[in-house]
Amino acid sequence: MAEKDMFAMIVERFGEPQNARRLAPDEAARYRGRVPEALITFWVEHGWGSYRDGYFWICDPVRFDPLVRTIFTGDPELRPEDISMVAYTGEGETALMWHREKYGMTAFPHSSELGVGYATDEPIDTETNIKYSQNFLAGALLYGILQDEDEDFYDMKQILGSLSDGEVYGYVPARQLGGSEDDRQRVRVPEYFDIIAQLTPYRLVEQTSPEPGYPYGRFRDVRQIGRPR
């Protein structure tokens, strides 16, 4: 069975991104080699924009390159030039990144954690025994978060109003400085993500195998990311 076109599934289920800005075809070359070709095609045909009333944002990686450098500069394994941020959620809890060596990365800004998927063993389609393509894995990375339900986001929307382009519901002060749910505000990205990344180094975490009480495994702390502070 041929693998699914996950980007087509995004459009089929969720439609076109809202307030989209499309990548000009003659600008696409600057992104080749950074992210899978199917993602670039999506940017050209559909654009960078939001889904589900601001819950999920597909973004231009160039805007977030300073954030990537803040997190990864000096790291012995994860080099900033290999990593591109491609999406984030409107409540600021999740940011999706892509490593050019065929795997997705999920950052959690408010807890300063980063989970890396498929760093060594690429996943294989059990029906065909064939490794999934870069295009499939990138689309699945986005689709998996996009379909999530998050009541916290919609609660914040009722309290603080709809997000404008380039905003998330953040914490002021940041969670790393003791901020609580009473401190949520609409803040600007990528500046907000960059500021909180400067407060506390990210920790690399990995998901363990399923075990009793943890049917999906659990996150295990591995090490600090970036240059020692």
pLDDT in tens, 61-93: 999 999 999 999 999 999 999 999 999 999 999
pLDDT of 152: 87
Q: Tens digits of per-residue pLDDT, 134-167? A: 899 899 999 999 998 788 899 999 999 999 999 9
Name all contacts of 2-6 with Cβ < 8 Å and 24+ positions apart.
3/125, 3/132, 3/133, 3/136, 4/136, 5/38, 5/135, 5/139, 6/38, 6/135, 6/136, 6/138, 6/139, 6/140, 6/142, 6/143
pLDDT digits (tens, 9 = 90+) for 161-189: 999 999 999 999 999 999 999 999 999 99
pTM for the whole structure:
0.91
Delimit the domains of the chain by residue range. 6-203
By C-alpha distance, which of 159, 81, 147, 68 is closest to 114?
68
Give me the mean pLDDT over the 94-120 stretch.
86
3-state SS, residue 208: coil
Q: How far apart are CA 174 and CA 224, in angstroms?
A: 20
Q: What are phi and psi of 84, to 5 degrees?
A: -130, 135
63/50 Cα distance (integer angstroms): 16
Q: If you ran DSSP here, which 8-state letter would residue 28 be given?
A: G
Residue written as token pair 């050019």: 100
For the cut 60, the answer to whether the pLDDT of residue 22 exceeds it is yes
